[in-house]
Amino acid sequence: MSPPPTEPAAQPAAEVIRTSTSQAFCCKSIDKLISDSENPEHRLSKTLGPWSLTALGIGAIIGSGIFVLTGTAAAGEYFQAPSILHAQALDLIVNFLRTGTTAGALMHGRPPAGPSIAISFFLVAVACSFAGLCYAELASMIPIAGSAYTYSYATLGEIFAWIIGWDLILEYVVSNVAVAVGFAGYTKAQFAAFGINLPDKWSSPVWASGQWTGAYFNLPGFLIVFILTLLLVRGVKESAETNNIMVAVKIGAILTFLVVGGMLVKPANWTPFAPSGFAGIVTGGAIVFFTYIGFDSVSTAAEESRNPQKDLPFGIIMSLVVCTLLYVGVALVLLGMMKYTTFVSGEAADAPVAYAMKYLGVHPFFRSVIVIGALTGMISSLLVFQYGQARIWYAMSRDGLLPKLFSAVHPKYKTPYWSTWIACFAVGIPAGLVDIGDAADLANIGTLFAFVLVSLGVILLRRNQPDRKRAFRVPFVPWFPLISVVLCGGLMLGLTLITWLRFVIWLALGLMIYIFYSRHHSEFKKIG
């Protein structure tokens, strides 16, 4: 009688192997990263398909900005920066060389793009696609939560992984605080339009524009983050389904505008199409570029994707394609409804879509649809970024660079619940207390820095591991990744000096934490 069949023995976990004599420059093998993700103690539930991943990208990319920024970029902007710290780094250099005076160096401006802002949106999408392709290749090779942090650990080394992980923490917190505060203000204004006045003491930031406001707490800003956290802890499938619904509502609102507004288009408003020529198209692109960042959040869902090798590249690229079509459509319709010069200042600049529909006598029902779309856009952005933030912390904790509490997985819901709750209070409490204003640019510089490192990672991994299987490949390496590095580096120079200063201070603080805590708890330290 033959013995009963035995189950195959479990594969041994991959070992941690030093790739450098210096711990800071040790890279973690892709096999080890994948092995760690399969540990039952830290395993996440794999429930996301290609369209849910695409919806995550759309939810992150399209917020309320599609209804606001188009008019500003089309009309242009001119002002003198109040101080050298609030001037853009590249503008300071160019204007000083042009004028030869410090006063001239502080002049800031963007010539109007006019209706050609539609071309700006398309060209920016092409520029973003270079970074998007790099994310797609690494996501298909390294289907692990952590996004740019994990990719940097596998390609550049531990110190770079820590720096970008610390940078991503800042990016997600700052952007979500800004969105939560914006959501609270927008909600308050809409309630007031219906005669419901929320008390200022409980619906305004305690600190705004450099002074105390007399408010106690911004309760709507905190509550929206708290409610979304309950959903995120409950499960990724439930969170994704909710996001799918919100994305459908948001796209529905945009399509409504395209149909209703399209009937009010006057082709004469498209003339001149490019009032400032190609210079206006390029500078308009610099303004709208930041509406596209967010597609990288798709890669944070790698461990919860059913087929990450195929679905992650699909989600990243498809979300960029869909958002590009929507942005270009809104730009053409809005600037066909009214002349681009209308949106220079005042209510028309603050809410161009709403203003155009009101001025042209669109039925209140359709205007309400736009309001609902804007609110839904903010909520879906918050949901996706809170989701991504918790996964970054989870991945860093699993590698020992943050306390183990952050990588604890809920026994029932299979979500990193401690990371999710900590992210809730890291965003919700500041949103209840402060309006961070121009500090929101920290999210932009952090994202661009991540794009640069991911693009460099593709080049290094092609050189160091050319034979490793790649379900998706960036064409024309190293040229496409290098184009991404140049474009993102150039846009970083377009941010203000005070943003750079805050960024450097945050990174310096992160390095102190790495030196005194993280490097001592890393797996590489244990084998050193």
In a domain, residue 204? The reply is yes
Cβ–Cβ < 8 Å for 234, 383: no
Asked if residue 100 lies in contact with residue 310, where contact means CB atoms within 8 angstroms, the answer is no
Q: Give CA 311 to chain center in angstroms.
A: 19
Residue 161 lies in a domain: yes
Q: How many domains does the chain fold into?
A: 1
Is 36 domain-assigned? no
Question: Would you say 359 and 347 are in contact if contact means Cβ atoms under 8 Å apart?
Answer: no
- pLDDT reported for residue 211: 85
pLDDT score for 5: 46
Distance CA 133, CA 472 (A): 9
CATH number at residue 513: 1.20.1740.10
pLDDT of res. 149: 95
- What's the pLDDT score for residue 1? 47
Return the pLDDT at 270.
96
Query: Domain range holding 410?
Result: 48-76+111-521
Residue 361 lies in a domain: yes
- CA dist 425 and 222 (Å) reads 8
Domain membership of residue 207 (yes or no) is yes
- Chain-centroid distance of CA 63 in Å reads 10
501-505: long-range contacts (C-beta < 8 A, 24 or more apart)? 501/85, 502/439, 502/442, 503/170, 503/442, 503/445, 503/446, 503/449
Beta strands in 27-169 (DSSP E): 77-80, 107-110
The predicted pLDDT at position 315 comes to 96
**Tokens 């992160």 belong to residue:** 510
Ranges under pLDDT 70 in the chain: 1-14, 77-110, 438, 528
pTM of the model: 0.89
The single residue listed with the structure tokens 């308050």 is 188
Q: What pLDDT score does 8 carry?
A: 42
Number of Cβ within 10 Å of residue 135's Cβ equals 29
Distance CA 84, CA 103 (A): 9
Q: Confirm whether 435 is domain-assigned.
A: yes
Contact status, residue 385 vs residue 293, Cβ threshold 8 Å? no
Q: Is residue 29 part of a domain?
A: no
pLDDT, tens digit, for every residue of 151-172?
Answer: 999 999 999 999 999 999 998 9
Strand, helix or coil for residue 361: coil
In this structure, is residue 99 part of a structural domain?
A: no
Question: What gap in Å lies between CA 339 and CA 273, rounded to an integer?
Answer: 10
